Structure 1
Amino acid sequence: MLLYLNGQFISKEEAKISPFDHGFLYGLGLFETFRVYDGHPFLLDDHVERLNKGLAELSIEQKYTREQINKILQELLERNRLTNAYIRLNVSAGLGEVGLQVEPYLQPNLIIFPKRLSPGGELIEKKAVLLKLKRNSPEGNQRLKSHHYLNNVLAKREIGDFPDVEGIFLDEHGYLAEGIVSNLFWIKGNVLYTPSLHTGILNGITRQFVIQLGWKNNLQIQEGLYSIKEVLEADEMFVTNSIQEIVPITSFEGRNFPGKEGQWVQQFHQDYRQYCKNLWSRHSVGRE
C-alpha cells in the first residue's frame, strides 16, 4: 500500500521524517480520519475546515483546500486501486530545534495513509461500558484532534481489545463526555441529546453531521451537562465516528437499549447512506 508524504507517493518502508519534527518531540500535530465511498471523500470540506482551524491554533502556517487534498486523494486511490477506503490525514509541525518554539512553523509534514475498507452499509452494534478513567481536559481552549492521545490509549487498555465494546468517559465533574473513539448520543421522545463541548469532548465531524440530521428530521437538539441517570432513561443510545458511522448501543450500566432495531438509529443510518457518496459538507444537508 502506497502512502503520500510531502509530494511523493511511496511505500510505508520508504516513509521517513526527522526526529527533530516537533510533532514527534512535543506532540504538535493534528490528524483527520474519514472514509471514501466509491471514490468520494465524505464530508471532506468539514474535515479540512477543522484541520485548518487547528493548524492556526498550533501556529502551523499552512492552509489546505478541498481541491488540493482531493487531488492527492484521487491519485492515491488510483495508485492503490481503491474505491472504498479509510483515510488518515496527518499534519505535523515540522523541523525545529530541541526546546519549545514560539515562532510559527513554516514547513509542516503532510502524510496521508490509506487503508482498504468495505463500502459499509451495515449497522454494527456495540455494548457501552463506563470507564474508571476520566476524560482529561483539553490542552488549550478546545479539544483538537491532535497527537495527544494517551488518555484514549489508557482507556482502551482499561476495557481490553474487544471490537464490540465502547468505553464511555465521564469528565472530571462526573458528567457524561464521549466514547474512547466516538461521540455519544441518546434519544428520548423527540429530543436528541449529546454532551456539551464544555465537557472537553472533541467536536467530531460525524457528531456535527448527526446534529444536522436531527434538525432535518424535526428533532429538538439538546447539548448539555448530563448525568448517567439521564442516558439510562433514554429510548435509544448510539455513538458515532467517521469510520464506524452510526453505532447502536445495546446495553449500558445494566440498561438494555434496542440497538440496531431503534427507530432513530435506523433513520440516521438511512440518511447516512443517502449522503455518504456525494456530500462534501454537512451544511448542504436538506438542500435540494
Structure 2
Amino acid sequence: MPSNPKLQAYINGKIQPYEDVVLHISDLSIQRGYGVFDFFKVQDGQPVFMKDYLERFNESARLMELQVPLTEKELADTIYQLITINNLPISGIKMILTGGYSGNGYDPAEPNLLIQQLPLLLPAPDIVAQGLKVITHDHVREMPRVKTINYAMGIRLIKQIQKAGASDVLYQKNGVVSEFPRCNFFIVTQDDTIVTPSEDVLLGVTRKNALALAGKNYKTEERTITIAEIATAKEAFLTSTTKRILPIVQVDNVIIGNGKPGAVTMGLLQDLIDLEKKL
C-alpha cells in the first residue's frame, strides 16, 4: 500500500481509493503472469512523452492479443484525471492490462485495466557522479518487443546482483548483449560513436530520445554489441524512464574507460533533462 492513503487509482472505468482497487484471484496476471504494462513520468502535473508510451502500451497489448478497453484519447483523459486528483509534484503513472478473469485459469478473458500513480524519486546526484557497476547473465527475454509483466528472471537475480556489489544485470547470449530487465544499454566507442543493441530489446522511449539527441552531435548506430566490444568501449550507459541516463563504469570485472562517468554520457544526460523541461 502507498504511504499516502489519499491516493486514487483507476480500475475498469472507476477512479477510487487504492485500498478499493482489487483483482479477483482468477485473473490471468495472478494465475499465469499474463499481462502487459507501461510506465512514464509526470513532472509538475505534465506527463512526459506520454504519446510514445501510450503507443507502446497499445502495441504490447496487440502483440499479446489483449484488447485495451479505452481509446488512446480516453486513456489519456483518464490519466489526466488521476494527475489532477492525486496532485503529486513528481510521480510515475503505471498502466497494467491483464489477461482477465479466466474460467479455467488459462484461457484469456475480458482484460482488466488498472492505472496507478505513485511518488517518484529520480537518481541521486552522487549515484550519477559515481556511475554504476553491473554484471551480466545468460538470458534473452521472451518477446523482447513486448513490455510484459513477467520480470521473473530480473527479480530472481537481485540477490546475485547485490552479492556482486552491483546495481543491475545486463542480459547476454553467446557473447551478444541485449538489455537490462528495466533499461536499455549503450556504449560509446573510441571514435565517439554511440551504439545500442538492435535485437532482442524493448524499444525504450528514453532510448529513442537518447538516440535522437546523440544524433545531433555524434554518429549513432543500432547494431550488435558483444561482451568483447564492451571491454574496448570509451564509455557505457543505460537509459530508462526513471533513471534517465546513468553512466556505467564497470561490467563484470571490466572497467569501462577510466572508470569514471564520461563527458559524452554526462552531456547526453543534460540534453535529456533540458528536453524534458521544454515539454
Smaller-chain TM-score bracket: 0.7 to 0.9
Are residues 45 and 224 of structure 1, via their aligned partners in 2, closer, same or farther at CA, if it must alter by over 3 Å?
same
How far does residue 228 in structure 1 lie from its aligned partner after superposition?
A: 1.7
Tell me by how many angstroms 1:13 deviates. 1.8
Equivalent position of 1:49 in the other structure: 55
**1:260 and 1:266 in contact (8 A); partners too:** no
Indicate if the aligned counterparts of 2:234 and 2:256 stay in contact, CA closer than 8 A.
no
- 1:30 counterpart = 2:32: no
Q: Which residue of 1 aligns with 2:275?
A: 275
Distance 1:56 1:192 in 2: 31
Q: Structure 1 residue 35: deviation in Å?
A: 0.7
Q: Which residue of structure 2 lines up, in the alignment, with residue 236 of structure 1? A: 235
Contact 2:63 2:146 in 1 (8 A): no
**Structure-1 residue corresponding to 2:120:** 117
Q: Which residue of 2 aligns with 1:227?
A: 226
Match of 1:13 among 1, 19, 22: 19
Amino acid at match of 1:262: G
CA distance in 2, matches of 1:44, 1:260: 33
Residue of structure 1 in register with 2:75 after alignment: 69
Match of 2:131 among 126, 129, 132: 126
Q: Which residue of 2 aligns with 1:181?
A: 182
Task: Extract unaligned runs of 5+ from structure 1.
Answer: 280-288
Q: C-alpha displacement at 1:223, in angstroms?
A: 2.2
Alignment partner of 1:19: what SS?
Answer: coil
SS in 1 for 2:175: coil
- Write the distance in 2 (CA, Å) between the matches of 1:162 and 1:243: 23
What is the CA distance between 1:83 and its match in structure 2? 2.7
Q: Give the C-alpha shift of residue 146 in structure 1.
A: 0.5
1:164-175 equivalence runs, <5 A: 165-171=167-173, 173-175=174-176
1:283 corresponds to: none
Superposed CA deviations along residues 47-101 of structure 1, whole A, max 9, x for unmatched, are 1111111111222122655532332222222222213112211111222211543
1:40/1:51 CA distance change after superposition, 3 Å: same
Deviates more, 1:147-156 or 1:261-270: 261-270
Compute the TM-score of the two structures, normalised by the length of structure 2. 0.85
Q: 1:85 to 1:237 in 2, by over 3 A?
A: same
Q: Structure 2, unaligned stretches of length 5 or more?
A: 1-6
Identity of aligned residues (%): 24
- Structure 2: distance between partners of 1:258 and 1:8: 53
1:145 equivalent in alignment to 2:151: no
The 1-side partners of 2:41 and 2:165 are apart by 19
Amino acid at match of 2:25: P
Is the Cα contact below 8 Å between 1:213 and 1:271 reproduced in 2? yes
2:138 counterpart SS class = coil
Question: What secondary structure, in the 3-state scheme, does the structure 1 residue paired with 2:132 have?
Answer: strand
Q: For residues 210 and 49 of structure 2, what CA distance do their matches in structure 1 show? A: 12
Moved more, 47-56 or 107-116: 107-116
> Root-mean-square deviation (CA), in Å?
2.6
Using the size of structure 1 for normalisation, the TM-score is 0.83
Which segment drifts farther, 183-192 or 162-171?
162-171
Opposite residue 115 of structure 2, the aligned amino acid is: I
- The answer (yes or no) to whether the contact 2:28–2:105 under 8 Å persists in 1 is no
**Post-superposition CA distance 1:144-165 (Å, at most 9, x none):** 1102211111122321289972
Task: Give secondary structure in 2 for the equivalent of 1:24.
Answer: helix
Q: Does the Cα contact within 8 Å between 2:186 and 2:194 map onto a contact in 1?
A: yes
Letter in 1 for 2:275: Y
Instruction: Note if 1:255 corresponds to 2:255.
Output: yes
Measured after TM superposition, the shift of residue 226 of structure 1 is 2.3
2:205 matched residue in structure 1: 205
